[in-house]
Structure 1
Amino acid sequence: MIEEAIEDELRNSYLTYAMSVIVSRALPDVRDGLKPSQRRILVAMNDLSLTPGAARVKCAKIAGDTSGNYHPHGEAIIYPTLVRMAQEWNMRHVLIDKQGNFGSIAGLPAAAMRYTEARLAPPAAMMLDDLKLDTVDYIPTYDERRTEPVVLPSKFPNLLVNGAQGIAVGMATSIPPHNLREICAGLIRMIEDPEISISELCEIVPGPDFPTGGIICGRYSIRQAYNTGRSTIVVRARVDVEEGKKARLIVREIPFQQARDRVVERIADLVRNDKIKGISGIRDESDLKEPVRIVIELKQGHDPHIVLNQLYQFSSLQETHSIILLALVDGKPRELTLKEMMQEFLRHRVIVIRRRTQFLLASARKRKHVVEGLLLALADIDHIIQIIRNSRTQAEAKEKLMGVECPASMMERALGDRGYTDFQLERGISDTYRLTSVQTDAILRMTLGQLAGLEQERLAEEHSALLDEISEYRDILGDPVRIYGIIRADLEEISRRYGTDRKTVIDDEELGNYNMEDLITEETMVVTISTQGYIKRIPATTYRAQKRGGKGIAGMRAEEEDPVEHLFVASTHAYLLFFTNQGKVYWQKVWEIPQMSRESRGRAVVNLLNLSPDEKIRDCVVVRNFDLPGHFLMMGTKKGIVKKTELEAYSRPKRGGIIAIKLREDDELVDVVITKPNDQIVLSTSTGMAIRFSESDARPMGRNTSGVKGISLRKGDEVVGMVVADPTATLLTACEFGYGKRTTFGPGDEMAGKELPMSDEGSEEDGLIEEEVPVEEPEAEDLGSANRYRTQRRGGKGVIDIKATRRNGKVVGIAAVHDSDEVLMMTTRGKIQRIAVKDVSVIGRNTQGVRIMSLDEGDSLTAIVRVPSQDIDPSEIEAASAPIAPVSELPIDESLPESTSESDVSDASEGE
């Protein structure tokens, strides 16, 4: 006696039963899309040699063999499964070629299996191809008298093309049928670009394609299913409206898995119960040529469109179908996306082709070995015959033949140069060789007819052909590209031979309110834009942090003529405001930007934004919420002009863009930041100057204005960046030759609380407001002021931010950072490095900095951006991801100080 708690026994027994139902009965395998009962029927028919060209046999014979050999659940279960696989209104491409009464779309049942006959249809034959070439694993059957395949090789993408329905214990699957041509095209596209997104796949596979046609209402639910593995779609019947004195509705297609007779009965019940009052009569005019033709006569004076909407609401002319992309992956139930289902099929095909090639290679080698023995025997046939004649038994003859030493010269003469070289690679180099047991057995089985000259030539040709086959098989096994080429050729052939036009129409009309953004997981993305306008996004987690001074990793395939120009970090749910060289602004959600691999070039931005031919992106800014009181967009230009406009003014963009700022012909936008009351702005220039002033110095203006002076520039200088000063943060300045440093902002309280006189009294319509602002010359600084940026009046020359010399180059960008942050740096050749901010020393302003990135010869730093710490709230990410302005390719001013040695660079303020 074994004592056990009843709850433990019940739990263990139930779980055993549940897993048995899930794995062995109810759910399809993701590789061949078949349940065990369906697979066993096809295998039994293959055993009976019921190929598409063979004569059909009684279904009773098929069901009996399946039950007796493979499926121990009775013929009453097997026959309905066989019938369903033969019904063209249930399968997009039938797997069984039927003969007899297999039911109808009207809902009539099939005849008894003793009256019907069947054989394999071409798609099923393709699923069984190469089954005997060791392409799949086998397991013992229920009675352990034979074995059955775990899965079929399945050259045909059955799961997506024919779909699947199944209810297990605690889970269910509901995969709709799809169009074969679209699925094959999608698989081929995945072979070409394994990084393809689900959105791009949806352009190739727009949605399900039911064998009964119909209309799918809306694309949102389809995208939701393909992205998450679950959704519900609404399918309507295709109905023609004939208007006139007495209008009528003609139903030509009904929703998937609806019986025509039940549809008619349901409509008749609605009319009898006065649920729908505009119908005067209903007739079923269906025939063999038109399986569905239901004519609904309307009463005079009733609007047919209103009646049709009532039918959609109350009858089965409109049905909701669940999509649950659940299948067995490696024997375990798993919900999949569309891309994952395609990936699993391709992975299965790769394994099948590799195993098939290995089997064929082994068979070819075995046959080559036998043919080599026969060729050797024919080369010295008199001696071979003498040995056999002088032997009393075959065993004695075999032993003597195996003891014969064949000279290498004889082997070379028998096999030829190519064959002998291959033979030496297998057996090694020796003066003599001996026949193997397999070869002597083949020699003893030779007939006298094989001594004829033509037979000897045939063996030589076979040996040469075997060498070619072995070389071909080796090449396939050693080259994954060739394997995918074989898969692609198979898919193209299947699509060409069996592909059909789409039957189901997908209507853009959505039934309900949906937000596509709900499907997108919120995560931090790195977005890059190249000089020639190619854009992409990559998860920020792709770039692991490195030590300061590293070389980084490839961020994209950047050609010399198309370097990276913009780099910024944003949440997938944020907006990107694109500011162009023509002073316009466009916006796009981050998740709508294509996600690609690190090495890919990206997608042309003109495919996302409606840019004019001469329009180029000059800057971007990340915005999460436009409705923020007191928040402004502060814009800075290359010539030192700044302009402040309410953030809400940019919340209603048009397809062709809206005006952001009025620019001079020789000026261009550099940077845009979001400001709030009491913020202070820091402008930085390419020669290492910086100015800090209060955002209140620039009064708010409309969009169609130019702004006011922010900093006075020396000849040849220009603004390269703008940030909002944060007393708790530091200013990271980066130069083009990979040097940089951090300096504390400081409180900046020299001008705090003082009323700054403003002289810009012009109106917004005047465009640029020319003003006379006293210019402050840089003052001699004490040790304390050298470690921070004091507040000045807008329009001054500023203070030294960094020594820009020939050693470190011009300034390319700035960023306000905290010790817990990280920064991303990108070069013109597309390399990206991610480092921790704390690895960069905090030193004074009047220094050259330290090396923060090692650059290859001819490469230069082009952008730097802050990556917020992981604990930051996603809603605040727009404040943490200020964009970097484009880098001007200006030569370093010869008047700059000469480069100092590495030892002269101080990592602390004492060096000033």
Structure 2
Amino acid sequence: MGELAKEILPVNIEDELKQSYLDYAMSVIVGRALPDARDGLKPVHRRVLYAMSELGNDWNKPYKKSARVVGDVIGKYHPHGDIAVYDTIVRMAQDFSLRYLLVDGQGNFGSVDGDNAAAMRYTEVRMTKLAHELLADLEKETVDWVPNYDGTEQIPAVMPTKVPNLLVNGSSGIAVGMATNIPPHNLTEVIDGCLALMDNAELTVDDLMQYIPGPDFPTAGIINGRAGIIEAYRTGRGRIYIRARVEVEDIDKVGGRQQLVVTELPYQLNKARLIEKIAELVKEKKIEGITELRDESDKDGMRVVIELRRGEVPDVVLNNLYAQTQMQSVFGINVVALVDGQPKIMNLKDMLEVFIRHRREVVTRRTVYELRKARERGHILEGQAVALSNIDPVIELIKASPTPAEAKERLIATAWESSAVEAMVERAGADSCRPEGLDAQYGLRDGKYYLSPEQAQAILELRLHRLTGLEHEKLLAEYQEILNLIGELIRILTNPERLMEVIREELEKVKAEFGDARRTEIVASRLDLTIADLITEEERVVTISHGGYAKSQPLAAYEAQRRGGKGKSATGVKDEDYVEHLLVANSHATLLLFSSKGKVYWLRTFEIPEASRAARGRPLVNLLPLDEGERITAMLQIDLEALQQSAGADEDLDDEGVVIEGEASEVVEAEEVEEVEGETPELVAEPTGAFIFMATAFGTVKKTPLVQFSRPRSAGLIALKLEEGDTLIAAAITDGAKEVMLFSDAGKVLRFAESKVRTMGRTARGVRGMRLGKDQQLISMLIPESGAQILTASERGFGKRTGLGKFPRRGRGGQGVIAMVTSERNGKLVGAIQVQDGEEIMLISDQGTLVRTRVDEVSSSGRNTQGVTLIKLAKDETLVGLERVQEPTAVEEDELVEGEEGAEVAESVEAPVADAEEGSEE
């Protein structure tokens, strides 16, 4: 103990921790977690394959118990846990984990559902035929060898693989401070890339991608987009999106029911967990439209069936599945491998170059080995040929020798006749069969042949049957073959082009034997941009209810009715819900949806599910990320693709807030312009461009460039900042040179030039548009068109048309003039739209009643009137909105549907109240 105590030296714990952690980190990086760039194997994989090779566990021999292999691996080469080693063997035998199997397993090796493999005492394994190509020529000194953990065995430092395994099967692992995640690839494509690079070393990564377009996963699937592949191949890092392959099948062609059938999944996705996740989302109503979910997978392949509710758009459901489940997953590529024992981030060309360089070294070392063996064998055959040509003297010499040793010495000391081999030796070269290091006194010299000790020993061991004439001829033929082989081997070593030809021939042989077709499809552009191609282009009626339910219906589902008709129910109403917004839009259009909180969202028309008239529709919270209490207050139709093209690379303006003008003296007044009825005066235009013009319930307006809404955000964007209690009530697209008309619920209208409102950023608060009285609010905003008429409607179902020229232009910020009398009979003003002769309108009540009628059937009258009956309402029913149908379908007069009690044609009633302040701003 005393001597031991003297050996203990104090050290600085900080220095010791640093050194110990560094040693541990390097051990994990080099010896555990990262693959070698040359053979694509981690040490544990390499040791497993070597152990199986040493066991004779070949592809064409009987299986051996997995426990036997595990025992050899951990006992001789890999002193770690048996479960870790067995898990490695299991993964190499799973056809859903490795693109090209290295272990042929018999028994239960797990499943894509995440089931565990059977215990190692039950399963059996052997190497696959491809695995032999990784170990080919291992015995020919092609690679370096290192001692095992206790120095009792030698193991290869790397495999002399003929297969570019790093790319073909990929690899993943987490080291210390770094990780690797390399996807598998198609063997045929990778070898084609290697051959192309061997032909032209100047090829770039982009050139190589013509041969290797992208990863090829064992579970197939669809790679969505090439951007991530290009980035990963160029830099060694990238993200690719993998989608499940889904087919749409008809269940009931008559009833229109369909189902989604999943046949391929993203790589390393657990199918059972995916099904559980979908069921959970359906139960929580985060995904709607799915009625049944079942797994019909069997030995013939994968088949997960998702039945849809009648009328559901399969692509919309599928998009939700992609967004909320792992049916679309991200594979983060991080190509980190060991090059010369050091971790390195590699691009596509780097990986191919390392493999080709490795093959060049392996083939060179193999050729050197084969040349040495060929020369040794040729040297023996040369001596035997000399002995056979001098058979009688040789036999006499051996018979006369008292001992084998003396006979050997005499054979070496005698100069023998060399005519039998002299011609072949001179033709091939005197040194062709001379082993390296052979003394110059042996061999052909001065017309005689002097045997070496090795040749003399081989002659003494020569069997008698080799003395026959036939055997003599065979020996000379073999000697000639050896000379030819030596010549070929020397050419390989001295001619780099011939060396590359050998590598090429071997790669092509591997490709011919093991190559197969690509499994994973690569879609050049993102799939979610092409879904519209699957949707029928048609005009659709999009409705949003007060309770936040959205749906769409074909415009053709509504036939035109006479004014005063009872109409058809446009939507089912429950708990006093009613339709609040209606828009006729193209099914391929993009909708800008402005919310009460001043935010804007993007939605494609076809993403709003179709529903019957009686159905409530889909909750908006399932379509948009709305906050609690947030509701949609305006919808606009835009061509997003065209807008993005015109927007350019960076069109965002400054989003600084603008304070609302609060004093009357700040309001910009405009000169009153005398107008002719039905005509619109020329305005001084601002700089050309498209704008979004918005108005709030408190009378605030704002103009923002449309390009600021060309970049959809999944969480929405701020359209304008609002005062507390204020809400956005309308939005329209303008060109900066239009006029604006604001309508209040008090029946007032204010018309002014859009140019009076300066351009502002998205988050600005805006300026005053119309001065409102106490408890008054804006209910409508219009951008008047030339020749249009204004159709106003009150909450009791009365309305009228008034020529645009009847509304004088005023300055921004005033109270406006009377647009429609809001008497006790009429109630408050609820809507104002502009219409043209021949068009149609839709009217919506708070109980869901919808009437479609011709504009021509609504009589024209002045501003200061009460109007005529537009829709018959029940006592407790009120009109909540009206919408203009832009392109009505032509309907013959005899096809018009009469109202249940006919149409009430009321004469325009002049209001008793004069428009006293119609000429004033206040």
Confirm or deny that 1:247 pairs with 2:258. Answer: yes
State the match for 2:44 in structure 1.
37
State the match for 2:698 in structure 1.
none
Counterparts of 1:202-601 in structure 2, within 5 Å, are 202-242=209-249, 245-290=256-301, 292-406=302-416, 410-418=417-425, 422-423=429-430, 427=443, 429-510=445-526
Q: Following TM superposition, by how much is the alpha carbon of 1:79 offset from its aligned partner in structure 2, in angstroms?
A: 0.8
User: Aligned to 1:204, what secondary structure does the other structure show?
Assistant: coil
State the match for 2:891 in structure 1.
none
Q: Following TM superposition, by how much is the alpha carbon of 1:4 offset from its aligned partner in structure 2, in angstroms?
A: 2.7
Q: Following TM superposition, by how much is the alpha carbon of 1:105 offset from its aligned partner in structure 2, in angstroms?
A: 1.5
Aligned 8 A contact 1:59 1:118 in 2: yes
1:404 corresponds to which letter in structure 2?
A: T
Q: Following TM superposition, by how much is the alpha carbon of 1:2 offset from its aligned partner in structure 2, in angstroms?
A: 2.7
User: Aligned to 2:101, what secondary structure does the other structure show?
Assistant: coil
Deviations 1:319-351 (A, max 9, x none): 111101111111111000001100000000000
State the distance in 2 between where 1:35 and 1:347 align: 19
User: Aligned to 1:494, what secondary structure does the other structure show?
Assistant: helix
Aligned 8 A contact 2:244 2:327 in 1: yes
State the distance in 1 between where 2:160 and 2:245 align: 37
State the match for 2:101 in structure 1.
94
1:493 corresponds to which letter in structure 2?
A: K
Deviations 1:605-658 (A, max 9, x none): xxxxxxxxxxxxxxxxxxxx999xxxxxxxxxxxxxxxxxxxxxxxxxxxxxxx
User: Aligned to 1:79, what secondary structure does the other structure show?
Assistant: helix
State the match for 1:122 in structure 2.
129
User: Aligned to 1:118, what secondary structure does the other structure show?
Assistant: strand
Q: Following TM superposition, by how much is the alpha carbon of 1:476 offset from its aligned partner in structure 2, in angstroms?
A: 0.8
Confirm or deny that 1:131 pairs with 2:141. Answer: no
Q: Following TM superposition, by how much is the alpha carbon of 1:133 offset from its aligned partner in structure 2, in angstroms?
A: 0.7
Counterparts of 1:57-206 in structure 2, within 5 Å, are 57-206=64-213
Counterparts of 1:654-673 in structure 2, within 5 Å, are none
State the match for 1:766 in structure 2.
none
User: Aligned to 1:33, what secondary structure does the other structure show?
Assistant: coil
State the distance in 2 between where 1:61 and 1:413 align: 55
Q: Judging changes above 3 Å, is the alpha-carbon distance between structure 1 residues 61 and 451 closer, same or farther for their aligned structure 2 residues?
A: same
1:270 corresponds to which letter in structure 2?
A: L
Deviates more, 1:469-478 or 1:432-441: 432-441
2:524 corresponds to which letter in structure 1?
A: D
Deviations 1:71-116 (A, max 9, x none): 1113211111001001111111111111111111122111111111
Q: Judging changes above 3 Å, is the alpha-carbon distance between structure 1 residues 419 and 48 closer, same or farther for their aligned structure 2 residues?
A: farther
Q: Following TM superposition, by how much is the alpha carbon of 1:45 offset from its aligned partner in structure 2, in angstroms?
A: 0.9
Among 12, 15, 18, the residue aligned to 1:8: 15
Aligned 8 A contact 2:428 2:483 in 1: no
Q: Following TM superposition, by how much is the alpha carbon of 1:246 offset from its aligned partner in structure 2, in angstroms?
A: 2.0
Q: Following TM superposition, by how much is the alpha carbon of 1:419 offset from its aligned partner in structure 2, in angstroms?
A: 5.2
Q: Following TM superposition, by how much is the alpha carbon of 1:15 offset from its aligned partner in structure 2, in angstroms?
A: 0.6
Q: Judging changes above 3 Å, is the alpha-carbon distance between structure 1 residues 400 and 181 closer, same or farther for their aligned structure 2 residues?
A: same
Q: Following TM superposition, by how much is the alpha carbon of 1:301 offset from its aligned partner in structure 2, in angstroms?
A: 2.9
State the distance in 2 between where 1:177 and 1:268 align: 31
State the distance in 2 between where 1:14 and 1:464 align: 61
Aligned 8 A contact 1:238 1:253 in 2: yes
State the distance in 2 between where 1:61 and 1:424 align: 49
State the distance in 1 between where 2:327 and 2:137 align: 43
User: Aligned to 1:233, what secondary structure does the other structure show?
Assistant: strand
Q: CA RMSD in A?
A: 2.0
Aligned 8 A contact 1:372 1:415 in 2: no
Aligned 8 A contact 1:412 1:420 in 2: no
Deviations 1:404-439 (A, max 9, x none): 122xxx213344344576336755752444211111
State the distance in 1 between where 2:424 and 2:161 align: 41
Deviations 1:461-504 (A, max 9, x none): 11111100000000111111111112212222222222121111
Deviates more, 1:417-426 or 1:73-82: 417-426
Segments of structure 1 that go 5 or more residues without pairing to the other structure are 514-624, 628-912
Q: Following TM superposition, by how much is the alpha carbon of 1:391 offset from its aligned partner in structure 2, in angstroms?
A: 2.1
State the distance in 2 between where 1:96 and 1:397 align: 54
User: Aligned to 2:522, what secondary structure does the other structure show?
Assistant: strand
State the distance in 1 between where 2:30 and 2:223 align: 32
Higher Cα Rg, which structure: 2
Q: Count residues with an aligned counterpart.
A: 512
- Percent identity reads 46
Deviations 1:686-709 (A, max 9, x none): xxxxxxxxxxxxxxxxxxxxxxxx
Aligned 8 A contact 1:375 1:415 in 2: no
State the distance in 1 between where 2:281 and 2:428 align: 84
Deviations 1:492-527 (A, max 9, x none): 2222222121111112224899xxxxxxxxxxxxxx
State the distance in 2 between where 1:325 and 1:435 align: 58
Q: Judging changes above 3 Å, is the alpha-carbon distance between structure 1 residues 236 and 370 closer, same or farther for their aligned structure 2 residues?
A: same
State the distance in 2 between where 1:424 and 1:60 align: 52
State the distance in 1 between where 2:312 and 2:233 align: 41
1:362 corresponds to which letter in structure 2?
A: R
State the distance in 1 between where 2:424 and 2:306 align: 82
User: Aligned to 2:87, what secondary structure does the other structure show?
Assistant: helix
2:412 corresponds to which letter in structure 1?
A: M
State the distance in 1 between where 2:525 and 2:317 align: 19
Aligned 8 A contact 2:187 2:515 in 1: yes
Aligned 8 A contact 2:418 2:447 in 1: no
2:413 corresponds to which letter in structure 1?
A: G
State the distance in 2 between where 1:363 and 1:485 align: 22
User: Aligned to 1:7, what secondary structure does the other structure show?
Assistant: helix
Segments of structure 2 that go 5 or more residues without pairing to the other structure are 1-7, 435-442, 530-648, 652-922
